[in-house]
Amino acid sequence: MEGVQEYMSAIINGQEIGQEIRNEVAKRVAHLKERGLTPGLAVVLVGDNQASATYVRNKQKSCEAIGMFSELVKLPEATTQEELLTQIQNLNEREDIHGILVQLPLPKHIDEDTVIATIAVEKDVDGFSPVSVGKMMLGQETFLPCTPFGVMKLLEYSGIDIAGKHAVIVGRSHIVGKPMGQLLLQKDATVTYTHSKTPDLPYFTKQADILIAAVGRANFITKEHVKEGAVVIDVGINRDEHNKLCGDVDFAQVDGIASHITPVPGGVGPMTITMLLFNTVQAAENTFAQTN
Ligand SMILES: Nc1nc2c(c(=O)[nH]1)N[C@@H](CN(C=O)c1ccc(C(=O)N[C@@H](CCC(=O)O)C(=O)O)cc1)CN2
């Protein structure tokens, strides 16, 4: 059709890129172990959320696969906030634990902000604590939140230039949308934040060279939202009306319009755990450097 350029969208494969990075992390683990230090991750799971239990199991398996030590602290739904804080304080003191993560969401009677702020900043491998977030905002060295960090790696490994590009973020969560914009800004993108209540969303998203969908709604981003040749990164993990896993982007509609696109599953998801391993080995290396 005249005036319409058709793209073969390149599929960004998070499994493959994640594996490449995990292989590098595994070498760093082996190097530390030869020197007598085994990187250790503590994963705290409170309650019976099935999806959380699956993610936690995958995190533990991934640790084992590269030779890291991992410990699961599994607590019942009725755990009080005080009990949880005590558990975290104990983990903060442990020399064999270099990274701590508390799986989110927590049961409603527990205040997530208070819990996250209790994790020692040098063990905050999720990068969620106020100090880690503040350092990230200032461009200082810190642990970056795993999902946005993983997206940055996907862009880098796919050879996508960021400087000078217009990145539009759809979503404003503390763990994805907000930090995502900051990381892109630090690489000289021009960043626009939008969200589910932005009027005339396509007006903004159609301007995106890099479109990040992190709104948490199944198939929310359709062909009306996407400029031809845009890079489309789907951070969503949803279930559609048939209970099938899907992202925030209607893949079938956007495939062929975008220059690059991430699938769900197999795009951003595997990178979240990869960057958790990356941060944990970094935490262990920091400990090693301080004690040797
Ligand atoms: N403390 C944290 N809690 C949560 C985080 C987090 O980064 N830290 N993120 C999410 C859940 N999450 C990790 O915890 C996570 C979600 C999805 C995947 C993933 O690999 N998804 C696969 C599909 C998996 C499936 O089949 O269900 C994919 O997209 O390919 C990894 C990690 C909320 N909580």
Ligand 1 center–CA 147 separation, angstroms:
8
Sign of the four-CA dihedral 23, 29, 32, 34: negative
Q: Which residues are annotated as part of the binding site for NADP(+)? A: 171-173, 237
Are 225 and 206 a contacting pair, CB within 8 Å? yes
Tell whether the model's pLDDT for residue 37 goes beyond 60.
Answer: yes
Q: How does pLDDT run across 49-99, given as a tens digit for each residue?
A: 999 999 999 999 999 999 999 999 999 999 999 999 999 999 999 999 999
Give the pLDDT confidence score for residue 146 in this predicted structure: 98
Tell me what the mean pLDDT of segment 202-209 comes to.
98
Which residue puts its alpha carbon closest to atom 17 of ligand 1? 269
Q: Is the CB of 118 under 6 A from ligand 1?
A: no
Ligand 1 center–CA 220 separation, angstroms:
19
Which residue puts its alpha carbon closest to atom 14 of ligand 1? 55
Q: How does pLDDT run across 227-273, given as a tens digit for each residue?
A: 999 999 999 999 999 999 999 999 999 999 999 999 999 999 999 99
Q: What region, left, alpha or beta, does residue 127 occupy, with left being phi > 0 and alpha being psi -120 to 50 degrees?
A: left
Mean pLDDT of the residues in the chain: 96
Distance CA 152, CA 150 (A): 5
Residue indicated by tokens 């350029």: 5
Ligand 1 center–CA 272 separation, angstroms:
6
Tell whether the model's pLDDT for residue 28 goes beyond 90.
Answer: yes
Give the pLDDT confidence score for residue 1 in this predicted structure: 45
Tell whether the model's pLDDT for residue 280 goes beyond 60.
Answer: yes
Ligand 1 center–CA 157 separation, angstroms:
21
Give the pLDDT confidence score for residue 66 in this predicted structure: 98
Give the pLDDT confidence score for residue 217 in this predicted structure: 95
Q: Which structure tokens are listed for 81?
A: 């906030």
Tell whether the model's pLDDT for residue 133 goes beyond 60.
Answer: yes
Distance CA 223, CA 280 (A): 39
Tell me what the mean pLDDT of segment 266-285 comes to.
98
Tell whether the model's pLDDT for residue 3 goes beyond 90.
Answer: no
- Indicate which atom in ligand 1 lies nearest the CA of residue 51: 27
Residue type, 216: G
Query: What strands, in cross-sheet order, belong to the sheet with 69-75?
Result: 69-75, 40-46, 99-102
For residue 7, what pLDDT band results from cuts at 50, 70 and 90?
Answer: low
Strands 238-239 and 245-246 turn out to be antiparallel
Q: What region, left, alpha or beta, does residue 102 occupy, with left being phi > 0 and alpha being psi -120 to 50 degrees?
A: beta
Give the pLDDT confidence score for residue 222 in this predicted structure: 97
Mutate to test the pocket of ligand 1, among 149, 154, 237 (most ligand atoms within 8 A of CB): 237
Tell whether the model's pLDDT for residue 6 goes beyond 90.
Answer: no
Q: How does pLDDT run across 134-178, given as a tens digit for each residue?
A: 999 999 999 999 999 999 999 999 999 999 999 999 999 999 999
Distance CA 46, CA 105 (A): 9
Give the pLDDT confidence score for residue 8 in this predicted structure: 87
Which residue puts its alpha carbon closest to atom 12 of ligand 1? 55
Residue ranges of domains in the chain, CATH in brackets: 36-120 (3.40.50.10860), 146-269 (3.40.50.720)
Q: Is the CB of 9 under 6 A from ligand 1?
A: no
Give the pLDDT confidence score for residue 173 in this predicted structure: 95
Give the pLDDT confidence score for residue 5 in this predicted structure: 54
Q: How does pLDDT run across 12-26, given as a tens digit for each residue?
A: 999 999 999 999 999
Q: Which structure tokens are listed for 98?
A: 């270099």
Give the pLDDT confidence score for residue 237 in this predicted structure: 95
The residues that are catalytic are 59, 103, 126
Tell whether the model's pLDDT for residue 193 goes beyond 70.
Answer: yes
Tell me what the mean pLDDT of segment 199-203 comes to.
98
Give the pLDDT confidence score for residue 4 in this predicted structure: 54
